[in-house]
Chains A and B, each alone.
Chain A
Amino acid sequence: MSDEIVYKTGGDLRLRRFWNRTSAVWAQPTVIIAAVLFILLTYLVIAPVIALSINSVQVGIRDNAVIGLEPGVFTLYFLKRVFSSGVSRVLFWAPLVRTLFVALMTAALALPLGAALAWLIVRTDVPGRRWLSSAFVIPYILPSWTFAVVWLTLFKNRRLGGLPSFAESLGLSPPDWLAYGAVPIILAEALHLFPFAFLLFGNALRSLDVQLEESARVLGASGPVVARRIVLPLLLPALLAALLLTFTRVLGSFGTPYILGSPTRYTVLPTALYSAFVTGSTGVSAVIAVVIILIGISLVTFDIVLVREHRRFVTIGGRGSTRRLAKLGRARTPTAIAVNLVFVLTTVVPLVTLSLATVMKRPGVFALHNLSPVYWLGATIPAMPGQRGLLLSPDIWHAAWNSLRVAGLAAIFCGLGGLFVGYAVVRLPQARVSRYLRQVSFLPYLVPSIAFAAAYISLFAVPRGIVPSLYGTMILLGLAMSVKYLPYASRTGISAMMQLGNEPEEAAQVCGASWPKRMARIVIPLLKGGLMTGALLPFITGMKELSLVIMLASPGTELLTTQTLRFIQYGYSQLADGTVLIIVAIVVVLTFLAERLTGSNLASGLEGGA
């Protein structure tokens, strides 16, 4: 009897304690936000990768037509086909080797170029430094495959057929190795990606304490010794970061190798994934996607370990007090010419080529009778049945509107996502959950774009439980983009919250301000700048995204970028070139406006997030 009472009271107590604790927890909105984010991020980031992995050992409906097993049956057939069969060299090993080769060579070109330019602009008196430091970000702002399209317009040969290139119109016939395959792919990727190295090295050089170098000099070290023992180790993190960024970008890049590699069947992993996907080998494409993800994750892990090892030795002291710019002396003018030439080659030449190509009936024939506005303004276009000039084409307007909507959705989601992830990660008392949220919100960054899209198709193409299928919807495009770009925003959000600290909010709480009020009056206004950058970057990146959307867009949800690829596939090169120009115009104007509005330099955001 008494036992029972004790038990009851104990139960009551326990219950009350539990109730008190939970109500305390639930009264604190951070926990609710964290709980929602926990579920949402797990679903949007982890689940797609799991679905993809399952796909790699499961028969798809189109696979079934070929191998005879019923759809849905589990099998190791695809693993065997990809890794050790009569065709695995063509399907996987050759593309793998090429991908690594292209990535290494791209880094070998882009890093020295970016580093040299950074050194000239930060450390020497080369004229026009201010202007150039913005100008060299432009190649990154252009869609990554702009250079590929330009290259074909300039150098393609008869192997590809279609309209002649500029070179052909001049009576030249570029050999295959120059027109297609490894050489142009590496060049195009390097020209697009050198701004990473430029920005990272530039910032590292700026924050390098000159006194360190000077002290070494005073102690009698020679120039090379200073470079080797002082400067290089201090620049190592920047070097590694640039290497990593370049490498992962190439790993997930689809447009450039597709456009330049297809004519000679120079397949790399992203294009191998795509062609397996298109030809209905769902299983094979899933296996390749998983491999790409694993490479991406191991690269980043490797980098994190290296940097952590490295950081133990390096503490970079503040700002170099008075930095003397190296005098170039007699070399000043030649250097200025060389540096400006890089700008001309990476930005002016591509854009001028594209513009010219869109008004020429036969590319590269500079004659008045060859010029025509028909590709921009024609009601019909000769030899392109059913097409209208770009500015009159409802398809283009529709695609532009779609691009704006999807990128806009991604921007809003990332802005809010960044805010909430930042708030939850910094304020949540439960360290383990906080760490999980931080890591999961960063994970999409490690998954190369095309593999990310494959994962999204695996999860969202069929109805699952209460979630209907999102195949062919704008929502799927917007969702994939939002989550893929979330790392830009969540990083900004977390660091901004860190700087904000607890005090202002606590003070408001003491004064009786409710949580919504605290958010609206204190947290959001203080975080505004960072959040804007965190939202704008996804917007601009989204406008020019191809690798991520190529498998997700469908005829109703065509974007400007996928429309460009369709034109290339049809052989309508003028229309493709013109659409690229439209994208460039939108992105450049937006970037300019964004910089004006936020008063910030987007380049700094690029470097932090991308």
Chain B
Amino acid sequence: MLHPWTLLMSVLLFSFLSAPRGPSGVAAPALDLQALIRDARAEGNLVVYHPSSRINVAGGIFEKMYGIKVRGTKMGDPEQAERVIREVDSGRVQVDVIHHEDGPFLEARLIPRGYVVSWIPPDMATVIPERYHSPLVDKVQPRIFTYNFETYGSACPISNVWELADPKWKGKVILRDPALTPANLAFFATVVSSPQMLDKAYRDLYGKPLELTEAPVGRIKNAGWEFLKRLFTNDIVVMGSDEDIGDAVGAAGQKAAPIGMVTLTKLRDNKAKNLKLGTCKTLQPFMGYALPEYVVIVKNAPHPNAAKLWVHFSLTTEGISTWTIADVGGFSANPRVPTHPDNEGTWTAWEKRLLPIDNKRSMGLRQDVLDFWLKYGAK
């Protein structure tokens, strides 16, 4: 027989540990999902801007589950920002939810100025790791350097990122246009902020110290700026979408296939389009960067409850499966959602080989990085 005190203490301790808690530690009100579904249904439909064309597939699942029609439009970050700001300022908001990949702009402008709200469903607060709460992340994915395994065999032809800036790869490195893909600007900013790493990598590859030649006015020369300058001036190729890059790198029958940076999910086209994409697993000091996708609700959204329901849906297996289970490449922010077998390891394992993006620091460097790109990369 248990001592009454022990019993009482156990019950208290158990209830304390199991109670859902908000970030501040105060017990959050439970989410009444049924009421939310009811209110959302009353609103009828939902408008979502999303960086992936598969939004229509996920929209179909949502409609089947809740009877709410989703109009999803594939849209890049700059256009999303443009539309959301115009819509909110004009008082004619048409979109409810955006899935946004420009973390720096989201944190520095869209959220502080009230254009969008990051809302985490109370019942998800304990499930989703805290670092994905604010702003809310629904999925993360690696954007990494890939090569053509039909052309180069089982190992990536480069092992050090400095090779990308080597004349050997002149005109054969492909990136998303940074002017239109802010996430790449954030990546460059992170590169600039990690000079030791690049300095060491240079010495490892060439066995001599790196000569620094240039940095923007007011910035200190370092290995990061030097890497960007040499990469940009190596006749770098830019494209508008990961689809195009994946196709260009992975197309079968190439004698001198380029190297390109795409999200891991492009490996799905190895089946769908008979591509020959392989990941540069051993690339030093990083394979690419960790790209979070944020999901936020637009201010004065015309369908606020449907929007909340969609956010909740995006954190569940049903809602995110389109990107994380049906196809290779994505990782749900919800650790309970299983991952695709071809994902080449867990997210924790991936993160060790990727540069993390620091939203705040990256915003401070954005103009300089962009101008550096315009000066050396754009013709």
A469's partner among B89, B237, B239 (CB-CB below 8 A) is: B89
A472 at the interface (CB under 8 A from B): yes
Indicate if the CB atoms of A280 and B82 lie closer than 8 Å.
Answer: yes
Q: Which residues of B contact A279 (CB under 8 A)?
A: 78, 179-180
What's the least CB distance linking B61 to chain A, in Å? 11
Which one of A65, A91, A262, A384 has the highest number of Cβ atoms from chain B below 10 Å of its Cβ?
Answer: A65
* CB nearest neighbor in A for B179: A279
Q: Is chain A's interface secondary structure helix, strand, loop, or mixed overall? A: loop
A554 within 8 A of B: yes
Q: Of all chain A residues, which has the CB nearest B93?
A: A472
Tell me which residues from 228 to 262 in chain B have a Cβ below 8 Å from any Cβ of chain A. 237-241, 243-249, 251, 254, 258
Cβ–Cβ contact B179 & A469, under 8 A = no
Q: How many A-B residue pairs have CB under 8 A?
A: 148
* A162 interfacial by beta-carbon distance below 8 Å: yes
Asked if residues A471 and B247 are in contact (CB atoms below 8 Å), the reply is no
Report if A160-B244 is in contact (Cβ < 8 Å); known contacts: A66-B366, A468-B91.
Answer: yes
CB within 8 Å of B: which A397-414 residues: none
Contact, CB under 8 Å: A86 / B245: no
Asked if B56 is at the interface (CB within 8 A of a chain A CB), the reply is: yes
Judge if A383 is at the interface, Cβ distance under 8 Å.
Answer: yes
Contact, CB under 8 Å: B91 / A556: no
Q: How many of chain B's residues touch chain A, expressed as a range?
A: 35 or more
Structural contact, A554 and B83, CB atoms closer than 8 A: yes
In the complex, per-residue mask of B26-64: 1 if CB is within 8 Å of any chain A CB, else 0: 000000000000000000000101000111110110000
Whether A265 lies near B367 (C-beta < 8 A) is no
Q: A589 in the interface, Cβ–Cβ < 8 Å?
A: no
**Is there contact, CB below 8 Å, between A265 and B379?**
yes
Q: Does B273 contact A (CB under 8 A)?
A: yes
- Asked if B375 contacts A90 (CB within 8 A), the reply is yes
Q: A61-B113, A571-B241 are in contact. Are A278 and B247 (CB under 8 A)?
A: no
- Taking a contact as CB atoms under 8 Å apart, the answer to whether A570 and B53 are in contact is yes
The answer to whether residues A571 and B91 also contact, given A65-B109, A91-B374, A382-B272 and a CB cut-off of 8 A, is: no
What are the residues of chain B within 8 A of A220 when measuring CB–CB? none
Q: A161 an interface residue at 8 Å Cβ cutoff?
A: yes
B95 contact set on A, CB distance < 8 A? 555
Contact among A90, A267, A277, A472 for B92, CB-based, below 8 A: A472
- Tally of chain A residues near chain B (CB < 8 A): 52
51-105 of chain B: CB within 8 A of chain A: 53-57, 59-60, 71-75, 78-79, 81-83, 85-87, 89-92, 94-95, 105
Contact of A62 among B85, B217, B243, B245 (CB under 8 A): B85
A308 CB to nearest B CB, Å: 42
User: Nearest CB to that of B239 among chain A residues?
Assistant: A161
Q: Is A514 in contact with chain B by the CB < 8 A criterion?
A: no
**Is B74 a contact partner of A387 (Cβ separation < 8 A)?**
no
The answer, among B105, B272, B378, for a CB contact under 8 Å with A265, is B378
- Whether B374 and A87, one on each chain, are in contact in the complex, defined by CB atoms closer than 8 angstroms, is yes
User: Is the Cβ of A386 less than 8 Å from the Cβ of B86?
Assistant: no
| Smallest CB separation, B379 vs chain A (Å) | 5
Partner of B244, one of A64, A468, A571: A571
CB-CB nearest 3 A-B residue pairs: A386-B56, A469-B90, A161-B248
29 contacting pairs across A/B (C-beta < 8 A): A61-B85, A65-B366, A86-B217, A87-B375, A90-B379, A91-B374, A158-B248, A158-B258, A160-B248, A161-B246, A161-B249, A266-B379, A275-B179, A275-B180, A280-B82, A387-B56, A461-B89, A461-B90, A463-B90, A469-B91, A472-B86, A472-B90, A472-B92, A472-B94, A554-B83, A555-B83, A569-B240, A569-B241, A570-B53
Interface residues, chain B, CB within 8 Å of chain A? 47, 49, 53-57, 59-60, 71-75, 78-79, 81-83, 85-87, 89-92, 94-95, 105, 108-109, 113, 174, 179-180, 217, 237-241, 243-249, 251, 254, 258, 269, 272-273, 363, 366-367, 370-371, 374-375, 378-379
Chain A residues proximal to chain B, CB less than 8 Å: 61-62, 64-67, 86-87, 90-91, 94, 158-164, 262-267, 275, 277-280, 382-387, 457, 461-463, 468-473, 554-556, 566, 569-571
